[in-house]
Structures are given as structure tokens and as C-alpha cells.
């Protein structure tokens, strides 16, 4: 398989940190999404459901060991994270339909900040947007927020977070860190 390269010729990976979603949680969210009877957008495969922590974008492959070493050193929550996804939202600029947390737990925000600082220390660009805990349900979505017969009320629990590579529509786990230090 050919490696993807930057214009400079150096190989890169498209990376992001996320909380994984359990199989039971995937099935529940996928069933709820089916009941929305969406008429717009491309549904995200349930196997790709995750709660985004930090999108890094294209990162030189050579930086991967240093990134993992930096994340090894961050302060992590001492207990599993529990996040309530309770708002169905349309993000028009991103053309995405998402399940969003109306109130992200402080431990989650602290983890995101620590990851941002670790990436920034390596010169990896970070988003200037405010963090919004979310799970993407559909891409290329246009229109209003669909009406749900049952309100969004999904508690996602995670005992670890993962560094993923996005490759051709698949999310491949590269490294994982426990939330119980």
C-alpha cells in the first residue's frame, strides 16, 4: 500500500483523539438515528461512532512516537469518563448532524486541554474553535434539526481514549491510554 505524502514528500497520517463508543452504545445510537428517518446527508457507519476529543489533521508520520510520548506524560482523569449526549444539532458550516453534550464534564474538558497542549508542544496545529463534545451522526447534512420522537439521552462511558488514524473512511486505532492512572 502506498503511503500518503505531503507536497514536501514526507509521509503523513490524518489523526484524531477520541473516546471510543461501546458496541451496546453504538447499537442504541444507530437505532435512535434510524428512527429519525433522515432525508439528508450520509449516515456515519456505526462502527465509526466516537466522541471526538481533538482533531489533529495531517501529522508527519515521523512525529507519531513523540506525540505518543507526550500524551504518556499528560494528566489524565483518574476515573472513567461519563458524558451525556442530549442535544441533536446541525452544524451548518461542517454540514454535519451531531449528538452534542449540553454540558461537558470538567474532567473531559481538562483532558482535551491537556491533549491540545501536548500537540502544541510538538508544533502540531490545533483548532482555534471552542471544544464541543459530540458524536457525528451524518455528514453532508443540510437542513433543519430533525424531530425526534424520543429525546436524545445517551450516556457514553469510557475507560480509555484512543489515537485514531482516518484512512479512506475507516478509523484505525493507533494507540490507547487508560483513564485510570
Tell me the residue ranges of DSSP E strands in 4-111.
12-20, 42-43, 50-60, 81-85, 87-91, 96-100
- Active-site hit among 134, 138, 156, 171: 134
- Active-site hit among 50, 76, 111, 141: 50
* 65 φ, ψ (degrees, to nearest 5): -60, -40
Q: How far apart are CA 165 and CA 163, in angstroms?
A: 7
Answer for the pair 114, 108: CB distance below 8 angstroms, yes or no: no
Of 103, 97, 106, the residue nearest 29 (C-alpha):
97
Write down how long the chain is: 181
**Catalytic site includes residue 134:** yes
**Catalytic site includes residue 50:** yes
Residues marked active site are found at 50, 134
Amino acid at each position: 500500500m502506498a503511503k500518503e505524502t505531503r507536497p514536501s514528500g514526507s509521509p503523513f497520517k490524518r489523526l484524531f483523539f477520541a473516546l471510543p463508543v461501546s458496541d451496546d452504545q453504538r447499537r442504541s445510537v444507530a437505532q435512535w438515528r434510524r428512527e429519525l428517518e433522515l432525508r439528508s446527508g450520509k449516515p456515519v457507519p456505526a462502527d465509526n461512532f466516537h466522541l471526538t476529543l481533538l482533531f489533529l489533521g495531517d501529522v508527519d508520520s515521523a512525529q507519531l512516537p513523540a506525540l505518543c510520548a507526550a500524551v504518556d506524560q499528560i494528566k489524565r482523569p483518574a476515573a472513567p469518563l461519563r458524558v451525556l449526549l442530549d442535544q441533536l444539532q446541525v452544524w451548518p458550516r461542517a454540514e454535519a448532524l451531531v449528538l452534542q453534550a449540553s454540558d461537558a464534564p470538567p474532567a473531559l474538558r481538562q483532558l482535551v486541554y491537556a491533549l491540545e497542549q501536548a500537540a502544541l508542544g510538538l508544533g502540531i496545529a490545533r483548532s482555534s474553535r471552542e471544544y464541543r463534545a459530540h458524536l457525528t451522526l451524518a455528514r453532508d447534512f443540510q437542513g433543519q434539526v430533525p424531530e425526534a420522537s424520543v429525546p436524545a439521552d445517551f450516556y457514553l462511558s469510557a475507560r480509555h481514549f484512543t489515537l485514531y488514524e482516518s484512512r479512506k473512511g475507516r478509523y484505525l486505532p493507533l494507540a490507547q491510554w487508560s483513564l485510570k492512572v
